[in-house]
């Protein structure tokens, strides 16, 4: 019989995605000096895709809030989208 954690995926990855999704709840602003330095290491295509994705995930938060969704439910939905977005960045051809 399989362990419950194995059946539902990697618990550490899931926890990190859920934690990261909370950061998209607040209005997206220009990143600070540390984030700008990190983004400068990325390719221009990855930077553009990342910037657009951050705005999109925040807009999804706003739509869930406007529809009266509970924050914890909305956050899991955002985390699921974030997982797909991370995968798309990982396979992005420069």
What are the pLDDT digits (tens) for 35-94? 889 888 988 888 888 888 888 999 999 999 999 999 999 999 999 999 998 888 788 765
Higher pLDDT, 47 or 9: 47
What are the boundaries of each domain within the chain? Answer: 4-90
Q: What is the pTM of this model?
A: 0.74
Please state, in angstroms and rounded to a whole number, the distance separating the CA atoms of residues 12 and 76.
14
First to last CA, the chain: 43
């Amino acid at each position: 019989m399989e362990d419950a954690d194995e059946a539902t995926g990697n618990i550490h990855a899931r926890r990190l995605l859920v934690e990261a999704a909370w950061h998209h709840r607040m209005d997206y602003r220009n990143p600070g000096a540390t984030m700008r330095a990190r983004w400068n290491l990325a390719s221009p295509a990855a930077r553009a895709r990342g910037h657009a994705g951050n705005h999109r995930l925040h807009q999804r938060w706003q739509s869930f809030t406007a529809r009266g969704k509970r924050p914890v439910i909305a956050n899991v939905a955002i985390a699921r989208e974030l997982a797909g977005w991370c995968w798309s960045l990982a396979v992005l051809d420069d």
